[in-house]
């Protein structure tokens, strides 16, 4: 029996990918690692061109595009209005069109549960990372609570890689982090909360926050999780 790929190996392969096919391979590996029905990553670049990778069937992708379902998909509509991860149950499925869309999606092999992370990049990029499965609400709540942090991290890894495929992309200058910023970001990357990280470094949480915010600014990150993802992907910290 083949061993499931570890998250570390998946992220390493994603970081080394130099084609869109590499992102597709990573999405399949991540699906297997998490033991869910589907992984999907879709983004619109600064020129308005759309790309995607994931494990939805070709038949559903073709049906979705042919019917222009992005106009009524509650996941697209709801996530475009948000900046934070969202469980699909929090979205508005009340309209007749939305319920019919969901019914058809399930018929095409889409699970009844979903968790999506909206991401906004520089110059107007918008991306959506989604994990999809079929189970009851209690099981899904347990799954999302257990994996929430790593799902957000992985979403930003996918987005960081997607930005490399932007036409005429100009590489961002890498600003070095100070030793204390490296220490703070490394502890967060391995799962410490802020209180634990501050205690380990023998500093106050206020001082820790200063280091984190300084690192986030240098990395051009939207939030702390994004900063950790960027620091990892750029080799500024190693865990």
Residue 184: CATH number of its domain: 1.10.10.10
- The structural domain count of the chain equals 2
- 173 inside domain: no
DSSP annotation string for 92-139: ---SHHHHHHHHHHHHTT--SEEEEEEEE-GGG-EEEEEEEE---HHH
pLDDT exceeds 70 at position 1: no
- 170 inside domain: no
Buried b (16+ CB within 10 A) or exposed e, 175-199: eebeebbbbbbbbbbeebeeeebbe
Phi-psi group of 85: left, alpha or beta (phi > 0 → left; psi -120 to 50 → alpha; rest → beta): beta
d(CA 56, CA 108): 9
**Lowest mean per-residue pLDDT among 23-37, 169-183, 205-219:** 169-183
Average pLDDT across the chain, whole number: 88
- 46 inside domain: yes
The dihedrals phi and psi of 98, each to the nearest 5 degrees, come to -65, -40
Residues 102 and 132 in one domain: yes
DSSP bridge pairs for 87: 115
Helix (H) / strand (E) element for 221: namely none
Q: Tell me the residue range of the domain where 79 lies.
A: 7-164
DSSP bridge pairs for 133: 113
What is the pTM assigned to this prediction? 0.72
Residues 129 and 216 in one domain: no
d(CA 22, CA 42): 14
Residue 31: CATH number of its domain: 3.30.450.80
pLDDT in tens, 142-189: 999 999 988 988 988 898 888 777 766 555 566 789 999 999 999 988
Residues 91 and 142 in one domain: yes
Q: According to the model, what pLDDT value does residue 46 have?
A: 66
| 93 in Cβ contact with 99 (< 8 Å) | yes
Residues 199 and 140 in one domain: no
Residues 62 and 95 in one domain: yes
d(CA 188, CA 200): 11
Residues 208 and 156 in one domain: no
Residues 66 and 110 in one domain: yes
Residues 226 and 136 in one domain: no
Residues 25 and 79 in one domain: yes
Residues 17 and 53 in one domain: yes
- 169 inside domain: no
pLDDT in tens, 88-115: 999 999 999 999 999 999 999 999 999 9
Domain finish residue from 164, 198, 213: 164
Residues 124 and 217 in one domain: no
Residue 122 in 3-state DSSP?
A: helix
């Amino acid at each position: 029996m083949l061993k499931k790929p570890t998250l570390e190996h998946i992220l390493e392969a994603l970081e080394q990918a130099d084609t869109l096919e590499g992102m597709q391979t990573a999405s399949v590996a991540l699906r297997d690692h998490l033991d869910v029905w589907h992984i999907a990553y879709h983004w619109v670049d600064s020129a308005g061109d759309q790309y995607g990778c994931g494990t939805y069937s070709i038949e559903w992708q073709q049906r979705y595009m042919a019917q222009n379902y992005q106009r009524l998909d509650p996941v697209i509509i709801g996530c475009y209005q948000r900046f934070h991860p969202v469980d699909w149950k929090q979205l508005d499925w009340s309209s007749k069109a939305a319920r019919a869309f969901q019914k058809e999606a399930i018929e095409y092999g889409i699970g009844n549960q979903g968790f999506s992370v909206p991401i906004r990049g520089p110059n107007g990029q918008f991306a959506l990372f989604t994990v999809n499965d079929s189970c009851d609400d209690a099981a899904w709540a347990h799954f999302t609570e257990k994996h929430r942090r790593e799902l957000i991290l992985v979403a930003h890894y996918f987005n960081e890689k997607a930005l490399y495929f932007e036409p005429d992309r100009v590489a961002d200058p890498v600003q070095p982090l100070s030793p204390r910023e490296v220490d703070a970001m490394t502890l967060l990357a391995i799962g410490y909360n802020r209180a634990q990280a501050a205690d380990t470094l023998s500093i106050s949480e206020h001082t820790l926050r200063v280091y984190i915010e300084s690192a986030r600014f240098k990395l051009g990150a939207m939030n702390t999780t994004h900063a950790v993802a960027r620091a990892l992907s750029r080799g500024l910290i190693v865990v």
